[in-house]
Amino acid sequence: MKRNNTEIQPIRIDMVVEALCQIHSPEQMKQFLNEVLTPGELHDLALRWELMRRLARGDSQRQIAGEMGISLCKITRGSKILKEENSITRSILVGRKTNEPKNPA
């Protein structure tokens, strides 16, 4: 089965979205993610979120790449997402960035 099979992928992602929408607490979400994702997948997801959070906070792409060991391509993708006016990710992170320090401890 091809990974980008357009006939199957939309059905599967809709089912995942439906399952995620049924979860209403952070504890349940964490448990669900631990149940369905491998440790490597969890790491990749957390890494992606951290780079998005740092971009929203105003860290430079080169700083993020150097400190996190992430390619500039991944960071550029995140930067483009945050520049989109209707980005859900942007709307989530914009409210948080004013409450966080520039450099984490």
For position 105, what pLDDT does the model report?
42
Please give the tally of structural domains in the chain: 1
Across 6-32, average pLDDT: 88
Alpha-carbon distances of 74 from 1, 4, 63, 95, rounded to whole Å? 26, 19, 13, 23
Domain span at residue 43?
38-96
Q: pLDDT-derived band of residue 42, with 50, 70 and 90 as boundaries?
A: very high
Q: What is the pLDDT of residues 56-100, one digit of tens each?
A: 999 999 999 999 999 999 999 999 999 999 999 999 998 655 445
Residues 6+ apart with CB under 8 A from 45: 33, 37
- Work out the mean pLDDT of the chain and round it to a whole number: 86
pTM: 0.75
